[in-house]
Amino acid sequence: MVSLRVLYIGGTGVISSACVRASLALDHEVHVLHRGSGSHREPPGGVVVHQGDVRDPASVRRAIGEERFDVVADFVAFSPEHVRTSLALFAGRSGQYVLISTTAAYQKPAAILPIRESTPLRNPYFAYARDKIACEDVLVHEYRERGTPVTVVRPSHTYDRTLFPMDSGWTVVQRMREGRPVVLPDGGRPLCALSYADDFAATFVRLLGDPRTHGEAFHITSDEAISWRQAFDAVAVAAGAVPRYVAVPSEVIATHDAGWGEVLLGDRAHSSVFDSSKVRSLVPQHGSTVSFAEGARRIVAWYDTHPEAQVRELGREALMDRLVAAFDV
């Protein structure tokens, strides 16, 4: 593979930091633009760090100067204006602009499974997903009207050892270990694709610099489809706990906690099984090397050795207790 000059906007999050490492492994010249926020995922050695705020174009110009890149990968664009700003900043200075979108943008609920990149984009429940759809619309227009080399990548639930893919992660673990009941939205029946960040990154970096991706969208997800109940069970096994679940409909949760309900009704309450044939046509080695059973062991082990991260969400826990009292029959 040809070595590329890649700029990651962000570069210190769960997904983007894994992509930075994967780019380095392919001998890319890796640059990161971020605000210097003190993340525990600071870029590793060998990365050129530019400190600037992408929301402040003047600070980006000071940080980047006249640098040109083969690829600009934007992990922190959450609105159409964010995308327009980035496109303007790097117009004529990048061979490819890659937007990190989300599989939550797909039709909810999907009329046909498995979900493919051709599945309609529509999510009336989840503002985050609607904003990402609007971001994608900007890029579709850019490509159609100007031929701008743009690519959309849609991750599903992607995690590393520091992040539980379910809501209220550490709170759930502690409740399991204490023998207290855990709220399981919709009984954990919907299917999900939980992707380890390094697996996502291994595929992502092989899409960079490939002109066949211009004007295209790809999802990168795990091939392992499990139910949310199985995901909770895997965490319980990793934590050495015997869980007790109380099933509560997502619609009920939404009446008590609008934020939690939006995430559930806009994503997790609907089965998401993905067809990866499109990305695999360009990256034949795409696949999952870390099962969620293994991922759960890594997460719990990390939290057990990082007590400062063991934060309980007291407000959410109080709500769980009220829901348990109402539904534990």
pTM: 0.96
**Average pLDDT for 310-329:** 95
Task: Give the pair of three-digit tokens for residue 74.
Answer: 């934007």
Cα separation, 225 vs 242, whole angstroms: 23
Is there a contact between 48 and 29 (Cβ–Cβ < 8 Å)? yes
Is pLDDT of 23 > 60? yes
Residue 28 in this model has a pLDDT that exceeds 90: yes
Residues 142-168 pLDDT 10s: 999 999 999 999 999 999 999 999 889
Task: Indicate if the pLDDT at residue 252 is higher than 80.
Answer: yes
> Could you tell me which residue, 213 or 45, shows the higher pLDDT?
213
Residue among 91, 103, 77 nearest 10 (CA): 77
Ramachandran sector of residue 292 (left: φ over 0; alpha: ψ -120 to 50; beta: rest)? alpha
Evaluate whether 31 touches 50 at the Cβ level (below 8 Å).
yes
pLDDT for residue 272 is more than 80: yes
Q: What was the pLDDT predicted at 66?
A: 87
- Fold classification of 5-158+194-220 is Rossmann fold (3.40.50)
Q: What is the pLDDT of residue 282?
A: 98
Mean pLDDT of the chain: 96
pLDDT band (50, 70, 90) for residue 35: confident
